[in-house]
Chains A and B, each alone.
Chain A
Amino acid sequence: NSKVIQTPRYLVKGQGQKAKMRCIPEKGHPVVFWYQQNKNNEFKFLINFQNQEVLQQIDMTEKRFSAECPSNSPCSLEIQSSEAGDSALYLCASSLPGSNTEVFFGKGTRLTVV
């Protein structure tokens, strides 16, 4: 069973609404990733953190998407104004720091924007 916990499993929002999803990484994993997996099963990297610091993020993330990993709280990914094209499976993953470390995924939040 996945030790990366994502909530909610399913999320339905209207266009223009905010959509927020949460992730609790595996215990002891300071590195957290967010990916979007579209209906064609393609992975798109969004952002990653080490502890509370952003390591990498793509341009799309900087505009309508925001994310944070506060200490002692779940990480979160929020879409400020949902669009139909945001409908996808949002996967959170975590790992230990350092090179060549295994990355483990949560079960994801399936967002549907109607």
Chain B
Amino acid sequence: EVQLVESGGGLVQPGGSLRLSCAASGFTFSNYNMNWVRQAPGKGLEWISYISGSGVTVYADSVKGRFTISRDNAKNSLSLQMNSLRDEDTAVYHCTRGRADFDYWGQGTLVTVSS
């Protein structure tokens, strides 16, 4: 069974940093591209970052230069390093599988940016 489990969310002050993780299981992680998608409270879905199986990355303009996506294929793990956090980064962050598939989603981890 495919599972994606996010962790690392929490309360952080504006300007602070946080690192999210996504533990993958039930499939050959290295064979799949992965994404991070976020959802602000009461709002819609926003794609923010992609990484290919070999490490090619793409970012939304809203996070470019502040967030870094990475993966450890040996540990079946996806990460999102978030720096210079802003109020508007407050959201539930989901990891999801595939370049265009988005066929499996984690339950999400809540990041709250507030002073």
Partners in one complex: no
Chain A interface residues toward B at CB < 8 A: none
